[in-house]
Amino acid sequence: MPPLNHLQHRWAVETMITSYNHVYQVVFKTNYHNLGVISVSDYKDAPIASFQLEFLAMQDDPKKVVRAIKKYKVKGRKYVLNVFHEMPSARTIKEKYAEYGLDFIRTGPILGIDIPVPVHGDVSRIQKITTMEQLDEANNHLKAEGESIPVETLSDPHIHNFVAEWKGKVVGWTQLVTAFPGSGYIHQLYTLKDFRNNRIGTSLMVRAHFECAELGIQRMALVSSDMALGLYRRLGYRPLVYFTAFRPKEDVPS
């Protein structure tokens, strides 16, 4: 994996990078390249983002990172850069990269927790998807809000999909990725709008924690949406490392 030796919890970054690239490679046939100073997720034409390339800074020297990006053949495609750091504030980092024509997008945390964790919810209504019939039934309910479990993930040993059932209906799902040794990663967590505030997300997370414990996984990482942050904090997740995203100035809307 990339060096990232300047980070105390580099495992969380490595887990995130390995996990989401694994899912995209399985579902969309994307590419990932480790180039030393930077690594690159090449999404090609996959309908997953408004950009085609995602650069990941593997060192904390902006000059080396920007130089490595310039050496890569971008060919006019839109890209973003993620820089990893330990402090919540990214003021200095933003100032340094602004000097190289990169504009700030956002800063967010990578959260983590040790496994096992105390049980906080009921998993009796949580089902692991293991057959095509289960997947089709789940997607028939999830598609009402634009959600779906990719069929390509069904046979992958490192991707585990779980659904929550409520009165005979699938009302939420989560996707656990175990592609990085010793670590799990929550790639998706979603509850249908009419069924929120019923601890469904909690039950899905508890089931994912059980799966990790059964597999001998010792820790979990994830990147939270603003909506789910409270849930993860209540479960015991805490910020371990931060990422700040940038894009070239010409990509910034006027």
* Domain harbouring 74, CATH code: 3.40.630
**CA–CA gap between residue 33 and residue 48 (Å, rounded):** 18
State residue 45's pLDDT score.
Answer: 82
State residue 203's pLDDT score.
Answer: 95
Q: Are residues 142 and 167 in the same domain?
A: yes
| CB distance 110 to 16 below 8 Å | yes
Q: Are residues 20 and 105 in the same domain?
A: yes
Q: Is 74 within the bounds of a domain?
A: yes
Q: Are residues 77 and 167 in the same domain?
A: no
Q: Is 120 within the bounds of a domain?
A: no
Q: What total of structural domains would you count in the chain?
A: 2
Q: Are residues 143 and 88 in the same domain?
A: no
| CB distance 65 to 57 below 8 Å | yes
Q: Is 58 within the bounds of a domain?
A: yes
Q: Are residues 102 and 160 in the same domain?
A: no
Instruction: For 100-154, give the DSSP string.
Output: TTEEEEEEEEEEEEESS----S--TTEEE--SHHHHHHHHHHHGGGT----GGGT
Q: Are residues 181 and 211 in the same domain?
A: yes
Ramachandran area for residue 146 (φ above 0: left; ψ -120 to 50: alpha; else beta): left
Q: Are residues 188 and 245 in the same domain?
A: no
Name the stretches of the chain with pLDDT < 70.
Answer: 1-3, 251-254
| CB distance 202 to 125 below 8 Å | no
Q: Is 225 within the bounds of a domain?
A: no
Q: Are residues 105 and 130 in the same domain?
A: no
* Domain harbouring 186, CATH code: 3.40.630.30
**CA–CA gap between residue 159 and residue 83 (Å, rounded):** 26
Q: Are residues 130 and 210 in the same domain?
A: yes
Q: Are residues 105 and 140 in the same domain?
A: no
Q: Is 121 within the bounds of a domain?
A: no
In a 3-state reduction of DSSP, which class is residue 73?
coil
Range of the domain at 86: 10-110+241-251
Q: Is 116 within the bounds of a domain?
A: no
**CA–CA gap between residue 142 and residue 136 (Å, rounded):** 10
- The span from the first CA to the last CA of the chain, in angstroms, equals 38
In a 3-state reduction of DSSP, which class is residue 211?
helix
Q: Are residues 76 and 157 in the same domain?
A: no
Q: What is the identity of the amino acid at 123?
A: V
Q: Is 193 within the bounds of a domain?
A: yes
User: How many Å separate Cα 166 from the centre of its chain?
Assistant: 26
Tokens of 72: 């890569």
Q: Are residues 69 and 130 in the same domain?
A: no
| CB distance 172 to 204 below 8 Å | yes
**CA–CA gap between residue 64 and residue 204 (Å, rounded):** 42
- 75-120 pLDDT, tens digit per residue, is 889 999 999 999 998 999 999 999 999 999 999 999 999 999 877 7
**CA–CA gap between residue 93 and residue 84 (Å, rounded):** 10
Q: Is 228 within the bounds of a domain?
A: no
User: How many Å separate Cα 179 from the centre of its chain?
Assistant: 12
